[in-house]
Structure 1
Amino acid sequence: MTILNRKTLAVILLWTALLSMPYWMGLVGGYTGLATRVLVLGLAAMSVNFLLGFTGVLSFGHAAYFGLGAYGAGMLLKYLAPSTPLAIVVGVLAGTIAAAVVGALIVKLRGIYFAMVTIAFGQMFYFIAFRWSSVTGGDDGLTGWSRKPIDLGFTRIDIAGSGETYYYMALLIFAVSALAMALILRSPFGRTLLAIRENERRARFLGIPVERHIWIAFVISCFFASLAGSLYALLNNFADPHTLHWTQSGDFVIMAVVGGMRSFWGPLVGAAIFVVLQDYVSSYTQNWMFLIGVFFVLIVLFFPRGVLGIIRRKLS
């Protein structure tokens, strides 16, 4: 079997698993809400990997845009209009506009300096959400709202009362997002990002405007992170400051590394492992973070290419 046929078969199996997940999750001790969390956090991890794995820039502040997407969606539903599609749009706009402004300010930084400044800006948004309790709910979170059914005119999609229906809506958005990411990475712009990742000095010597490309990549990455945040808030009918905290960004990075940092589907696999382990282990012990930390260290030490790297090595 050729490498191309293996990749095609793997993608078919992946989408078959995703399409049927609500039906088999119960057989392995899961539930539909857990399946939706895998999708949503997988999209967030893929957004981080778009910047880290394919551009070579590490951000520990993506939770800020994930959280802004969550708060944007929740505040629209609570204060302005009972429209789920509009809530998603507002959440995405909130995160993307903030990312465009922050990215323009930090785009010239590199390495640990870039990562640390993204944490600083993320914590600034976290502090605002934590302290502005009259609007955001503060530490208690933003409550008193819920996702609404989608009225298409000729039919009504009840995502409010059915977790399974919401899963398939999230899956549709995930599929469109994954396709968009793949097309971007296969475009000349995406190839330029790979060139910057491999050798920024050489790319600059060739006349590539490196800062502009990194800024655009940062904004695109945060666009998908804020989209994931909007879906996450709608899943839980809740938004809280933790979604903005830098530790949430650390979880996204862990998901990307565990699954396979330079693999397109690796972050989704890493998110599935992380979310399922968290849900399963936390039901038995409060020290679940220690066990996941040990698992992460073992992956980094012995399998630096992640779970998909292990699978590829076995199949080659």
Structure 2
Amino acid sequence: MPLIGGYTTLGSKVLIYAIATMGLNLLLGFTGGLSFGQAAYFGLGAYGAGMTLKYLAPSTPLAILIGTLVGGLAATVLGPLVMRRRGIYFAMITIALGQLFYFVAVRWNQVTGGEDGLAGFSRQNIHFGSTVITLDPTNFYFLVLICFTVAVAIMWAILQSPLGHTWVAIRENRRRMEFLGIRVERYVWASFAIAGFISAFAGTLNALLFNFTSPQDLHWILSGNFVIMIVLGGMRSFFGPLLGAVIFVVAQDYLSSLTGNWMTFIGMIFVFIVLVFPTGVLGFFRRRLEVA
């Protein structure tokens, strides 16, 4: 990051958002379900981690575990409400569910801090026997990098399994899968739940990165940003969301330091990439290599 004018925290943010977008891409790019409510589980993970540190125990691993479970279980429980819907109806229900958690976070002032967000907690050093790992920005970056590697390995293994191949088949021809006797709704539910767990996992790391979380981490605008990152990189590519996260987060950081209207330029970049690279940046170059 210093070579391109960045900094360590920015590198951690890129990896965290990459985890969230690659998790969402299991649902969007490989199963064919457009969710505009994924930030709900990202935010639940963040609040779960923050509340664990603030109210329960000063333990970073415990905060990550509880936050991941909170967001992932919420997605699992709510999955049956969306698994039978398709297209715009699927997207609208996910937005509604996401905004439900957003307004709970805004109104529950005594616990969540309301619109001011949840503060008063900080990531704690990790103890391995007599060894203490201090989570300064550099060491925390390496912790995020390890978490990113583990998450990528799990997602890759899932996509190479029969479950992953079934998701792709559902995306390509859902009706044919139904005719074959496949319980499509259950597989969509599984995709929705797993994506929720991964997003919540990313949310816990985001809360630990900034030692703060707010209702904006639950808002549908963040869900839209996740979708933009996936489209930028290429939703049919496994590592496309990673490239999209790099482009979006680095451009956001740089442009926001220059102008308050940085979203205008992000929108222009998005429109340009969609017009020039309709399959995403990584998808475009992969297709060129296949042709060559």
Please tell me the residue identity of whatever aligns with 1:124. Answer: L
Instruction: Give the aligned CA root-mean-square deviation in angstroms.
Output: 0.8
- Distance (Å, rounded) in 2 between the aligned partners of 1:280 and 1:171: 22
**2:216 — aligned with what?**
242
1:26 is displaced (CA, Å) by 1.2
5+ residue gaps, structure 2, are none
* 1:168 is aligned to 2:169: no
Please tell me the residue identity of whatever aligns with 2:211. Answer: N
Equivalent in 167, 190, 199 of residue 193 of structure 1:
167
Please tell me the residue identity of whatever aligns with 2:212. Answer: F
Equivalent in 122, 129, 134 of residue 153 of structure 1:
129
| Structure 1: 4+ residue segments shifted above 4 A | none
**2:102 — aligned with what?**
126
- Counterparts of 1:97-108 in structure 2 under 5 Å? 97-108=73-84
Deviations, residues 118-138 of structure 1 (Å, cap 9, x unaligned): 000100000000111111011
Please tell me the residue identity of whatever aligns with 2:115. Answer: D
Could you tell me whether the CA contact under 8 Å between 2:236 and 2:283 is conserved in 1? no
Q: Name the SS for the 1:58 alignment partner.
A: coil
Identity percentage over the alignment?
A: 60
Equivalent in 31, 36, 44 of residue 68 of structure 1:
44
**1:110 — aligned with what?**
86
Aligned length: 290
Give me the TM-score of the superposition, normalised by structure 1: 0.90
- Distance (Å, rounded) in 1 between the aligned partners of 2:268 and 2:32: 25
**Which stretch of structure 1 is more off in the superposition, 136-145 or 303-312?**
303-312
Give me the TM-score of the superposition, normalised by structure 2: 0.98
- Distance (Å, rounded) in 2 between the aligned partners of 1:41 and 1:32: 14
**1:80 — aligned with what?**
56
1:48 is displaced (CA, Å) by 1.2
- Counterparts of 1:160-239 in structure 2 under 5 Å? 162-239=136-213
**2:32 — aligned with what?**
56
Deviations, residues 123-168 of structure 1 (Å, cap 9, x unaligned): 0000000111111011111011100001111411111xx1110011
- Distance (Å, rounded) in 1 between the aligned partners of 2:257 and 2:169: 44
Q: Name the SS for the 1:55 alignment partner.
A: coil
- Counterparts of 1:239-278 in structure 2 under 5 Å? 239-278=213-252
1:292 is displaced (CA, Å) by 0.5
Q: Name the SS for the 1:109 alignment partner.
A: coil
- Distance (Å, rounded) in 1 between the aligned partners of 2:16 and 2:195: 14
- Distance (Å, rounded) in 2 between the aligned partners of 1:193 and 1:309: 19
Please tell me the residue identity of whatever aligns with 1:295. Answer: I
**1:45 — aligned with what?**
21
Q: Name the SS for the 1:88 alignment partner.
A: helix
Deviations, residues 50-99 of structure 1 (Å, cap 9, x unaligned): 10000011100000000000000000000110000000011001101110
- Distance (Å, rounded) in 2 between the aligned partners of 1:273 and 1:106: 31
Please tell me the residue identity of whatever aligns with 1:89. Answer: L
